[in-house]
Structures are given as structure tokens and as C-alpha cells.
Amino acid sequence: MKLPAHLLRTKVAQSAAEFAGTFNIAFGRNRLPPADYQPEMMAPEGQSTGGGVAAMQHLRLVPRAEGESAGRANLVIGSATAAERIAELRTFEALDEAHRKHFAGEPVMLDRASYSRFLLKLQGFFEAQGFLVTLVEPSATQAPAPASRNALVTGFLLGLVVVALALGGFFLFKR
């Protein structure tokens, strides 16, 4: 006799799968133009999340339209971790930036106003569930990238020169 999947999952994995089901019921009928994108939360794969380590669930828009919009890629619009009650949602600008990086500069084919309204609904849904929601902005407005190794070495050497000059001046005037 084969046991149902929900009996084989850990508590965290089952909770995440149920949350994905709730999300998909709540938002499954929404459609975003022009490719008739349908929102979907991924359920965790497998029977365990490793104690919550692999509990992050991706939120995506799946194109459902046929014809001109057929063959469009799924759009990852954020993620949620039910065990930690956190969600990250991409703004239109961040989504467009990610799409351009992955698809040779091609802009995301999504109606900005529809997506913005949908993003507000998502934010409200997660906040009503007690989640801390972060809106992800394009990388240009995020923290700058870490300095390169050459810049760090140059800064270190410049610091040594300044210290050597200060010590030289100290000993010169001490006499």
C-alpha cells in the first residue's frame, strides 16, 4: 500500500506544501497581460526541507497564452519562506532588470500597471499572514558590489605608506 505524500513529509515540508496550496488557490485565477501570466508558488520538492534549510519557495508567473505569447519563459517574481515568515517580492524594475540579464537585453513582456497592482495584492496577502515583506529593487539602487582584490591591495599599500610617513615624521621631530 502506497502512503499519501502528506504522510511522508516532515512537519516543515508539509506546512510549506500547504502554504503553497493556499497561495495557489488564492491567486491561481489572477492573470497578468500580455501573456496571460498565472501566479504560482512552488511547493518544496521531496519529503524534507532539511529542518527548514531548503524551505524557500519561489513565486513565479507562468505564461498561459497561446499564439504570439507562447514559449515565453516563467518569470521568478520573488520567494517566501513560511517557516521564517519572510517574503521577498521583485518590483517591476527589478524583474525587468533580471529578465534583461537572462535574455540578452530583451525587456520583460509584462504590463507594468497590472504587475504593480498585483504586487500590492501579494504584499497585502503576505503581511496578513504575518510575513515580513521586502520589496527587491534593481541592483543599481542596492548596495555597491564589493571592492575588487586589486583595489583592496592598493588601499592596503597606500595605508602602509601613510603609516610609514607618519612614523618617519614622528621620529624626525622627536630628535
pTM across the whole model:
0.69
Give the domain extent around 166: 145-175
Q: Say yes or no: 106 and 151 in one domain.
A: no
pLDDT value of position 145? 44
Can you give the pLDDT at residue 125?
Answer: 95
Q: How many domains does the chain have?
A: 2
Question: What is the Cα–Cα distance from 132 to 60, expressed in whole angstroms?
Answer: 19
**Same domain membership, residue 78 and residue 156:** no
Same structural domain, 136 and 162: no
User: What does the pLDDT look like over 35-62, one tens digit per residue?
Assistant: 899 999 998 765 554 555 557 899 999 9
Give the span between the Cα atoms of 73 and 85, in whole angstroms: 28
Residue 12 shares a structural domain with residue 71: yes
